[in-house]
Amino acid sequence: MIYIGMDLHQKTTTWFACDDDGQRAGSGKVESSNEGWKSVTDRFGSTGTEVRVAIETGSITWFCVEQLRSLGIEPTVVDARHFKLIAESRKKSDRRDARTLAFALLNGTAQQCTVAVPSERARRGRSLLQARKTIVEQGTQSRNAIKGLLRGCGCTLAAALWRHPEQLRQALDELQRVPDWMRALLNGHYGVWLETQRQRALLDKQIQDELALWPDAKHLQTLPGFGPLVTIAVASAIDDPRRFARGRQVGSYAGVVPSVRNSGDSTRHGGITHQGRSLLRHALTQAAHSALRGHALAERHKTWARSLDARRGRQVAVIALARRLLIIAHQMWLTGELYDPKHCSTPTALAA
């Protein structure tokens, strides 16, 4: 068997191969394309030798996975953050990283820090959420720029105007103390902000339509605070609920569990780990805030969250509730049941 480690970059891929005895079988650099990767695997696969490939997570990882699968090879994808042999190395080079991946594949180290390859629908959902996040941030920057310019000449706008673009436009035109040179800047920022609102509405509609790809998870919207956006965030992050044996593992995957430092007789608990997908944590936090404000949350969960709020603060209570909602969502996804606030530990069976 041949073990190949590939260090992927946008333009080129550095590779290193070794055999079962750990002897170097080849190395080099190829173009990061289907033809380049095929030339490496064909070099050994054409002789009838079984080939295994290890790659790290990165910007072109999933594209590489698709191409290698088309060649009949299921690559081992290693989490770059957990693969300390590379992340903490003081002597880093593309060839050394590829060599480390190859030997890690040989001795089984790579298999201990693998990540699940997301499905196409999961990648679509994640990309949509990331695009929406970018649009929202751009709109916020333009809005803050308008407010900053107006503060410079002693003007303010009512918060309600931002919900009505036409009224906002009229209010900007009617401001008397705004100098002429500033109006051009205001118009520019307003135009950018208006376009971001239009794009945001289109992305929200696209996210709503995206639920059609998740018929097995659509009923998660019965959970308090779970609209289309939160549902897609949870579904695209988890992808396959069966890969988590327990709900606690889902919370750890989302990075909403407390960090632990355990050494000898000392155990310290800190803030949440913040590992996993940040978009998922943000969506869960918004769902928890919405659930606390609404009336659909089970009374025992609301009482528990309010008690935690009084003892530990609002932020701790919201994060704890977000984690609990995620665990319930995972259970509901596995069982295909609806959320029942009266019997929240045993949701109502989903009608066929």
Average pLDDT, the chain: 88
Supply the pLDDT for residue 84: 63
- Burial code (b: 16+ CB inside 10 Å, e: under 16) for 98-109 equals bbbbbbbbbeeb
pLDDT, tens only, 46-92: 777 899 999 988 889 999 999 999 999 999 999 877 776 665 666 67
* Mean pLDDT of all residues in 104-122: 89
Same domain, 221 and 336: yes
Supply the pLDDT for residue 213: 94
Same domain, 276 and 318: yes
Q: Are the CB atoms for 210 and 124 separated by under 8 Å?
A: yes
Same domain, 81 and 124: no
Same domain, 224 and 200: no
**What does pTM read for this prediction?**
0.83
The domain that holds 45 is classified in CATH as 3.30.420.40
CA distances from 85 to 14, 27, 96, 231 (A): 17, 19, 10, 36
Supply the pLDDT for residue 81: 74
pLDDT at 195 exceeding the cut of 70: yes
Supply the pLDDT for residue 257: 75
Same domain, 171 and 83: no
Instruction: Write out the residue range of the structural domain in which residue 53 sits.
Output: 2-113
pLDDT at 269 exceeding the cut of 70: no
Q: Given 212, 234, 267, which residue is the final one in a domain?
A: 212
pLDDT at 135 exceeding the cut of 70: yes
Within 207-278, strands assigned E span 258-263, 266-272
Q: Given 97, 113, 129, which residue is the final one in a domain?
A: 113
Burial class (CB in 10 A: 0-12, 13-18, 19+), 267: exposed
pLDDT, tens only, 302-352: 999 999 999 999 999 999 999 999 999 999 999 998 988 876 554 544 433
* Type of residue at 318: V
Phi, psi of 5 (to 5 degrees): -105, 130
Same domain, 101 and 173: no
Same domain, 109 and 127: no
- Residues 254 and 245: their CA atoms lie apart, in Å, by 15
Q: Given 179, 212, 245, which residue is the final one in a domain?
A: 212
Question: If you compute the radius of gyration of the chain from its CA atoms, what whole number of angstroms results?
Answer: 25
- The count of domains in the chain is 3
pLDDT, tens only, 1-49: 999 999 999 999 999 999 999 999 999 999 999 999 999 999 887 777 8
Same domain, 91 and 125: no
